[in-house]
Chain A
């Protein structure tokens, strides 16, 4: 795609970079055609997949080795190093990616299907999860992503399906263990149709029984279906009958993943994330209709989002701390060796990366992140990180990052600041930078 250097950034380009992207990276060329630039990012496979070489098999092996060799000080060394390496690589990709809109979608879906490092073994699997279960399906079908999530070792551990055993299965009768309905409930409530769809506790229990035996082959380090743990008998979920066996679970997930209620919920979430905390109902309806008409094609839904006029009205969202940190680091465009470690930054700003408190993930509205102390932490961090930026020209940095979104008041404050560091910090602590 033709790139423009040294040209004025027009408003549509600025909105494309800030609202749909990750914020402009100082060294990033301006797209010649912002609409084509955004849509083009949805073509082909995710380029990160060839760069971020991670795998849940390796993660599980590291976890096993740490447990085997657990020393007196209890330091899980392998997993720690694996996590540091992978977090650094994923953090670098967030800054260097040529497809920031697509990357936004990756982390949007990773949050929809959240896992959390509060379950500490997931340090071994978190980035593998994003790369294996989320990235391949960001422009594919929602039901395929759902299935990949349900089968991924990270989700199987996070929501306990790995240890859910049919009480009447051979393994259940032998051990006396039984169902764990954690994943089944959250799948219905959070991942797919939602509570308004009117399922009952019986539906949750039946769904959990249907998914027994979906677990992890620890030797191979990947998903496996264990028939000996699977609850025998036909299951009824929301009036639909599913035969016992792995295929029954797949069929149920596909039905949930293509349900109109699911489409409405994910359409509303997409619109809330990209457009406004209270998105216009017709925008939500449009995205839901596209999902319905395309069999849940997330690429088509993302393209539909880009065509909504409401999505181009500027500065209506408060950036989450994660989006804020990434945008700030892209604007500063520090050399790799002086970039701060992204998990540390997001923790400091109040939204530790991949560490949502609950399975519903992080909320991304101003009500969740507009607290004064949380906003002050952005200002605290700004003045600290600006010390790493050396002699970068603050005005040029502001104009490169924000273009026409930079307000006259902020520009004047930057010119008047008592040092480059303070000027750069004020840029990062400005209203223009807090929002998108």
Chain B
């Protein structure tokens, strides 16, 4: 069965599907599902799983702490826009991992995303680690969105699928386009008018509010879940969401973006319900942000951030990882949250415990990563 037909049978309008070969295999190699959600732009983990019990928090970033935190057991509070995730956490099906970073320390979006997706620093490898994992498992893999992210590129065949209504440019993209045309009167003004007709508010056009297509990412996530839940569907999938590069006015922007993320994750969980016990969803970003608020009520590129793992068998309901603290001497290079977990260790832990990859396979998926042994105790036993 071809992907486009399969999507049609699932009632999903299809805007784009790439490739020719069959996705479905006669006998799928694993019944486990694995989804990676990439948050591009650098999520401020400290504003999401907030260390409210750390006495240094207020001195660095009082303006960035959201009100109405949801309790995560005392020391930490969860951003109030993540009510759905909080519910999963309470049910023990969501795990937060604190102070996670990839091997890159450049604070460059491009270099850090490359490193996160390649699963290695430097130029040791050219393909995405999730593609290598799919190859090890002989598992059909799918990129949800317009094109295949680096994470899923490589020798193993990967289809991409963009359901109708799920096209979602990074939320501040059109504001950035308008800014480019600021000095070019005619085109800039014409595009601003057209964006108003598309429903952009004046605040969104001015860049003081984050415009958000509230439905695109949830639509994408729901499609991902439906495809993955099908018995002959893909087993591995990746999707992404932008809008995290909150240099200015972080509090309202982050609230909007997190609400969209939360709706998407809940749509994914709902669609995956029949296989939720056999599912793991990894949510990661390329870097965290500065511990100090900057001068524009935002934060700048940093190092360690938060990661989440969701799933019916995840040993959740807790914040894992080692809390490095926010005391001045504990900051990385006197500005960022000190990384205490390697994102490769987290991914390797999931590939081992959830998908059953052995040490040699893990070494092929993440070469040169002996310094990042698989994280333990991710699944309930």
Contact = CB atoms under 8 A, between A and B. Distances in A.
A375 B187 contact: yes
A373 interface: yes
Interface stretch (A69-77, A137-145, A257-265, A385-393): A385-393
B330 interface: no
A429 B180 CA distance: 8
A388 B147 contact: yes
Interface stretch (B49-57, B167-175, B333-341): B167-175
A329 to B, nearest CB: 15
Given A387-B145, A388-B147, A417-B109, A372 B192 contact: yes
Interface stretch (B22-30, B193-201, B272-280, B311-319): B193-201
Contacts of A429: 177, 180
Contacts of B169: 380, 383, 425
Nearest to A373: B194
Q: Which of A380, A417, A430 has the most CB of B within 10 A?
A: A417
Given A373-B197, A431-B180, A391 B187 contact: no
B269 interface: no
A383 B213 CA distance: 15
Interface string A367-391: 0001111011001100110011011
Contacts of B191: 372, 375-376, 379
Contacts of A390: 150, 153
Interface in B177-219: 177, 179-181, 183-184, 186-187, 189-195, 197-198
Given A387-B145, A419-B170, A409 B190 contact: no
B34 interface: no
A434 B187 contact: yes
A430 B187 CA distance: 10
B41 A418 contact: yes
A415 to B, nearest CB: 9
B139 to A, nearest CB: 22
Contact of B173 (A375, A393, A425, A434): A425
Interface string A306-320: 000000000000100
B109 A418 contact: yes
A409 B146 CA distance: 28
Contacts of B172: 418
A379 B150 CA distance: 22
Nearest to B168: A383
A316 to B, nearest CB: 13
A391 B177 contact: no
Q: Which of B176, B184, B192, B193 has the most CB of A within 10 A?
A: B176
Given A372-B192, A383-B173, A366 B186 contact: yes
A372 B170 contact: no
A384 B109 contact: no
Contacts of A380: 167, 169
A423 B111 CA distance: 13
B187 A418 contact: no
Nearest to A315: B184
B145 A409 contact: no
A388 B193 CA distance: 29
Nearest to A366: B186
Contacts of A206: none
A371 B149 CA distance: 32
Contacts of B40: 418-419, 421-422
B33 to A, nearest CB: 24
Contacts of B173: 379, 383, 422, 425-426
A182 interface: no
B113 interface: yes
A371 B114 contact: no
Given A388-B147, A393-B110, 6 more contacts: A366-B186, A379-B177, A409-B183, A419-B109, A420-B110, A425-B169
19 contacts: A318-B187, A371-B190, A372-B192, A375-B187, A376-B195, A379-B191, A384-B147, A384-B167, A387-B146, A409-B183, A418-B40, A418-B41, A418-B42, A419-B170, A421-B40, A423-B110, A426-B176, A431-B187, A434-B187
